[in-house]
Every structure is written in C-alpha cells, then in structure tokens.
Amino acid sequence: MSLDRGRFGRTLGLIAFVSAVFLLTTAQRFGTDGGVFPVAVVAVGSISLITAMTGFLIAAEDMMSE
C-alpha cells in the first residue's frame, strides 16, 4: 500500500502548467496594473488548490482500494 506518487505528480505538474499559462495570458491581455489580474490570480489559485486536493484524494483512494 503506497500512494501513487506518479499519478499525483503528473496531476500537480499539469495543474502548474495550466495555471501558469492562464496567468501569463491574463497578464499579457489585461496587464498587471488593472483590477483584473489580482482577481485572476485568486481565482486560478483557488481552482488549482481544489484540483490538487481532488487529485490527492483520488490517489489516496486508489491506495486504499488495493
């Protein structure tokens, strides 16, 4: 019984990549001076955190079912 670190690592890598692309695109499109960028950072951070927690729970459930 061990946590599926490969699946969890790939999930975290994908989350980081998608978050970075979204934030860079937002910064390029709207700039970092206005009010849109801070809102985007909070929104993307929240979604990333929830997705990471879900990925951890899926990996942990896979460990428990073995």
| Claim: this prediction has a pTM higher than 0.85 | no
Question: Which residue has tokens 């994908």?
Answer: 14
Residue count (the chain): 66
pLDDT at 48: 92
Helices and strands, counts by H and E, the chain: 2, 0
Rounded average pLDDT over 46-54 = 91
**Rounded to whole angstroms, how far apart are CA atoms 52 and 58?**
10
